[in-house]
Amino acid sequence: MIIKAPKGTKDILPSEINDWYRIENIAKEIFKKANIKEIRTPIFEDTSLFERGVGDTTDIVNKEMYTFIKSDRSLTLRPENTAGTVRAYLEHNLYRESQPVKLWYKGPMFRYERPQAGRQRQFHQIGVEMFGVQDASIDAECIMIAVELLNKLGLKDLTVEINSLGCNTCRKEYKEVLKKTIAPFLSGLCQDCQSRFEKNPLRILDCKNEECNKLFEENNLRNKLTTINLCDECGTHYEKLKKYLNELNIKYVENPFLVRGLDYYTKTVFEIKSNNLGSQNAVCGGGRYDGLVETLGGSHTPAVGWAMGMERLNSLLDKISGEKIKFYVVSDNQLEAVKLTQKLREQGFGCEFDYNSRKFAKQLEKAAKTAEYAIILGEEEIKNNFYTVKNLNNSEQKKLSFDEVLTL
Ligand SMILES: [Zn+2]
Ligand SMILES: [Zn+2]
């Protein structure tokens, strides 16, 4: 019996790899223009990094982490990459370089969730983190970069949803209002919401449980909740962000119930949704996390970032068909065929040859699947030093010298 890949994981096959390169290549170009540098952090970290960094009231930390013990150390496969990036930023004193420090990453993340369409236990994210700027201009830049990437990938009808969660001061007041409004209905909410009520009531707004949503709707709870009363500083920051987005012609809608699933956000949070293929799923989520660097032992450092799920992005894009190489050498003389292959590759061309001297008809069949041109190298060609080249698109056949082959 063959062993299969674990539940919730997927192989990325050669026929799919160009879809992944497309996202990575377009993203790299955009990041380069914006002077954002790549960072690669370990796939596992000390468990405490996520407990402190992601927050111990989140589903991620409570239910979804892959944690294991090695030599008495508790380690965890990273469920996201912001905490690891902040850890690296502090460990290597990246803040001593000129501010801001702008970083991007891509790679696999791990969360133990029930696998369903578009949700895997090992999934891939590409993301950006920017440190050291308080001004809302960097929040705007962050959103601008995400929108540019999604546009260049061909995603249309983007909706940017924004909200401000304020700072600890303005949030404290809001939490009280929230608790007062929700308290009479508390017994009807799910177990998670009941434990969130004391520890992090804001997260109740984010609950995916159907019963909770029904209860919210039936009692019109969302409309009863006023939006967060932002303090002067947070209010000004939010107004500035909206002004920047207006001037940049980035269309947005304000969603006062956008809270995001993580504990560390302050002030700006945002999600970008795409209407491609009729789906209304968020393809990008992010926000400001001014307290996280301090939480992880650094000095107060404003920061903002986003992440995109690459599986979800790919599911919204057209598939790219496999690329063909330029030449395939058809010959019953393997020595001459491999020598010609070497010469053509040295000139920068993709080239393969038939290893088994099969019948020419069989070799041509393989050539048509693999390459743009077949170079037929029979006895006569070898003796008289020319090449019969067949264009595999239109079946046109020509006798060419080596230099002429190079001009194809
Ligand atoms: Zn505030
Ligand atoms: Zn709930």
CATH of the domain at 401: 3.40.50.800
CA 191 to ligand 2 center in whole angstroms:
7
Q: Give the residue ranges of DSSP H helices in 183-296.
A: 191-199, 210-218, 221-224, 232-247, 292-295
CA 56 to ligand 2 center in whole angstroms:
17
- Shared domain for 269 and 332, answered yes or no, is no
Residue 115 in any domain: the answer is yes
CA 265 to ligand 1 center in whole angstroms:
12
Report the Cα–Cα distance between both ends of the chain, in Å, rounded.
Answer: 48
CA 228 to ligand 2 center in whole angstroms:
20
Peptide bond into 100 cis (omega under 30): yes
Written as tens digits, the pLDDT of the chain (408 aa) is 999 999 999 999 998 999 999 999 999 999 999 999 999 999 999 999 999 988 877 788 888 999 999 999 999 999 999 999 999 999 999 988 788 999 999 999 999 988 887 789 999 999 999 999 999 999 999 999 999 999 999 988 899 999 999 998 888 888 888 888 888 888 888 888 888 888 778 778 778 788 888 888 888 777 777 677 899 999 999 999 999 999 999 999 999 888 776 668 899 999 999 887 666 678 999 999 999 999 999 999 999 999 999 999 998 888 887 789 999 999 999 999 999 999 999 999 999 999 988 899 999 999 999 999 999 999 999 999 899 999 999 999 999 999 999 999
- Shared domain for 372 and 244, answered yes or no, is no
CA 231 to ligand 1 center in whole angstroms:
4
b/e burial code for range 75-112 (CB count within 10 A of at least 16 → b): bbbbbbbbbbbbbbbbeeebbeeeebbbbbbbeebbbe
- Shared domain for 267 and 353, answered yes or no, is no
Which ligand sits nearest to residue 168's alpha carbon? 1
Which ligand sits nearest to residue 216's alpha carbon? 2
- From residue 9, give the alpha-carbon distance in Å to each of 40, 123, 356: 21, 8, 37
CA 232 to ligand 1 center in whole angstroms:
7
Residue 3 in any domain: the answer is no
- Shared domain for 59 and 117, answered yes or no, is yes
CA 229 to ligand 1 center in whole angstroms:
8
CA 159 to ligand 1 center in whole angstroms:
26
CA 164 to ligand 2 center in whole angstroms:
22
- Shared domain for 358 and 295, answered yes or no, is no
- Shared domain for 284 and 161, answered yes or no, is yes
Range of the domain at 53: 17-166+230-316
CA 168 to ligand 1 center in whole angstroms:
6
CA 279 to ligand 2 center in whole angstroms:
24
Q: Which of 260, 295, 316 is the last residue of a domain?
A: 316
Residue whose entry in the numeric block shows the structure tokens 């599986």: 311
